[in-house]
Amino acid sequence: MKMTRILYGSDFHGSEVVFRKFLSSGIQYKVNALMVGGDVTGKAMVPVIHQGGGRYQAHLFGADKIAATPDELDKLKKSISAVGFYPIVLEQDEAQELENDPAKMGTRFEQEMCGRVREWMKLAEEKLIPQKITLYFMAGNDDLYSIDKVIEEFQHIRNPDMKHFEMEDGYEVVGLSNANLTPWLCARDIEEEELTRKLNAIAGMIQRPERTIAIIHVPPIGSGLDTCPDLDKNLKIITQGGQVVMKQAGSPAVKAFIEKVQPMLSLHGHIHESPGHVRNGRTLMINAGSEYAEGIMKAAIVNLEDGKVKGHMLVSA
Cβ-Cβ contacts under 8 Å for 203 (sequence gap 6 or more): 257, 260, 261
State the pLDDT at residue 246: 94
What's the mean pLDDT in 36-55? 96
Nearest-5° Cα angle at 267, 212 to 23: 105
Q: Where are the domains of the chain?
A: 3-44+107-316
Q: Count CB atoms within 10 A of the CB of residue 284.
A: 18
- Distance CA(250)–CA(3), nearest Å, equals 32
CA distance 200 to 188: 18
Per-residue pLDDT tens over the stretch 207-247: 999 999 999 999 999 999 999 999 998 999 999 999 999 99
Residue 203's identity, in one-letter code, is A
52-100 pLDDT per residue, tens: 999 999 999 889 999 999 999 999 999 999 999 999 999 999 999 999 9
Which CATH architecture does the domain made up of 3-44+107-316 adopt?
Answer: 4-Layer Sandwich (3.60)
What's the confidence (pLDDT) of residue 279? 97
Rounded Cα distance between 38 and 264, Å, is 20
What DSSP state is assigned to residue 219?
A: P
Q: How far apart are CA 251 and CA 148, in angstroms?
A: 23
Segment 304-308 long-range contacts (CB within 8 Å, at least 24 positions apart) = 304/3, 304/4, 304/5, 304/6, 304/169, 304/171, 304/264, 304/265, 305/1, 305/2, 305/3, 305/4, 306/1, 307/170, 307/171, 307/210, 307/211, 307/264, 308/264
| The model's pTM | 0.96
What was the pLDDT predicted at 1? 64
Residues ≥6 apart with Cβ < 8 Å to 140: 10, 11, 37, 38, 39, 40, 177, 179, 188, 217, 269, 270
Using one digit for the tens of pLDDT, what is the confidence trace for 5-38? 999 999 999 999 999 999 999 999 999 999 999 9
Strand partners, 183: none
